[in-house]
Amino acid sequence: MALHAGEFVGLIGANGSGKTTLLRILLGSAPASGEVRLCGDLLKSLDRREVAKRATMVPQDTRVDFAFTAREIVAMGRNPYLGRFTPEGRADKEAIARAMRQTDTEDFTSRPVTELSGGERQRVHLARALAQETRVILLDEPTANLDLTALAVGSEVEKLKRIILTSSALLTGAAVAVSGMIGFVGLVIPHIVRLIIGPRRRNLLPASALTGAAFLIFMDILARTVNRPEEIRLGIVTAILGAPFFLYLLLRHYRAVGVG
């Protein structure tokens, strides 16, 4: 199984089927056979501080036995970046404040978490995960204790997602404008194929190449039939010759990210 940057993946299963155990394995806090990589590196080769800089988890059970304030819990997300006796710097304070603002937990700043409801504690722990600023966030039933009002505080996160998606769309459009139809196929077709057949590279590479070539042939025939019918044969040959190029791009990409 491989997860890629920018993906939102949901894990579905019955109670006791091992969903939480899998999340713990991904963080190295539960034993497992096989190989686990985090951001391209073997998990077992990373120390706990480095793992915490790359991934964090919001647990299902958010109960805390000590009366830490909400801000102290959120500030724990900055521990991987601080020494044992190193005080919070400006960047740390800004990350904490931003995370509490995004989760609407600023009103809890000085309140002990032992006095908060389950849903309020859940939001505080989510703020702690955001303050940690990792590339990977694992959520174990994060909305289990949240009411509809609390769920609405995700509006800022949704706003960020919309901004990111809009920016990605503009960048993709710019790339396609520069590289043309072949660039479009190279960017989009592999993702569509992966959604259909899964992430296994053995199947993904040839399927993407063939699908990309077929798409180009179809679009080329359609365009040239309307505009210049006499060039149909040349267009078909061009599209077929493009398949090895797609294969080369995909191989180079997966070698770079270490997938497969």
What is the amino acid identity at position 64?
V
Does the pLDDT of residue 112 top 70, yes or no?
Answer: yes
| Tokens read off for 150 | 């609390």
How high is the pLDDT of residue 130? 93
Start-to-end Cα distance in the chain? 9
Distance CA(160)–CA(27), nearest Å, equals 26
Distance CA(25)–CA(32), nearest Å, equals 7
Query: How far, rounded to the nearest angstrom, does the alpha carbon of residue 39 sit from its chain's CA centroid?
Result: 11
Exposed/middle/buried for residue 26 (C-beta within 10 Å: 0-12, 13-18, 19+): buried
Q: What is the pLDDT of residues 154-176, one digit of tens each?
A: 555 556 666 666 666 666 555 55
Average pLDDT on 94-120 reads 90
What are the contacts of 187-195 at 24+ separation with CB within 8 A?
189/215, 189/246, 190/250
Query: Within a 10 A sphere around the Cβ of 177, how many other Cβ atoms?
Result: 10
Average pLDDT on 218-229 reads 64
More confident residue, 207 or 68: 68
Q: Considering only 61-70, 85-94, 177-186, 227-236, which range has the smallest mean pLDDT?
A: 227-236
SS3 assignment, position 138: strand
How high is the pLDDT of residue 148? 47
Q: What is the pLDDT of residues 171-216, one digit of tens each?
A: 655 555 555 556 666 666 777 777 777 766 667 777 777 777 777 7
Give the DSSP letter of residue 136: E
How high is the pLDDT of residue 77? 93
Query: Within a 10 A sphere around the Cβ of 156, how many other Cβ atoms?
Result: 13
How high is the pLDDT of residue 215? 74
Does the pLDDT of residue 115 top 50, yes or no?
Answer: yes
Does the pLDDT of residue 244 top 70, yes or no?
Answer: no
